[in-house]
Amino acid sequence: MVQELAADGVPVAVACRFLKVSKSGYYEWVSRPPSPRAVADAQLASTIRRVHRDSRGTYGAPRVLAELRLGLGVRVGKKRVARLMRREGLTGVSHRRKRRGWKPDTATHEDLVKRQFRADEPNRLWFCDIT
């Protein structure tokens, strides 16, 4: 937040005082290299993006995890894969389960033949099945 405020023209000292952060802590944070976990997460995220892209965007976290473990031999946990996929905005395709007791809606059209499908003479009654 301090970095964003400084980019908008607010002095760093004022932004740090407003957010109750020490100036020395802010400058130390800016100059600090990324942690080993952040570096490993970035590499794993690129591998996850590649696996997800290769599946044409259909794999979710469980299948990506299986592909990483079984296909590529990467040792990784399911929560880490789920967290990285959520951070990258990657989702799989999920199919909805069928509901029990589902009934179709009533017909939106008028029944002109009153369920009588026999005609008195040829070429008098026409109907079709749209299924």
User: For residue range 6-28, what is the model confidence (pLDDT) as tens digits?
Assistant: 888 888 888 888 888 898 988 88
Question: Which is nearest to 65 in space by CA: 54, 55, 53, 51?
Answer: 51
User: For residue range 33-56, what is the model confidence (pLDDT) as tens digits?
Assistant: 999 999 999 999 999 999 999 999
Which of 47-51, 122-126, 127-131 has maximum average pLDDT?
47-51
Question: Which is nearest to 23 in space by CA: 5, 48, 49?
Answer: 5
Q: Between 90 and 117, where is the model more confident? A: 90
User: Where in the chain are the domains?
Assistant: 1-32, 35-93
pTM for the complete prediction? 0.60
| pLDDT greater than 80 at residue 107 | no
- The one-letter code for the residue type at 86 is R
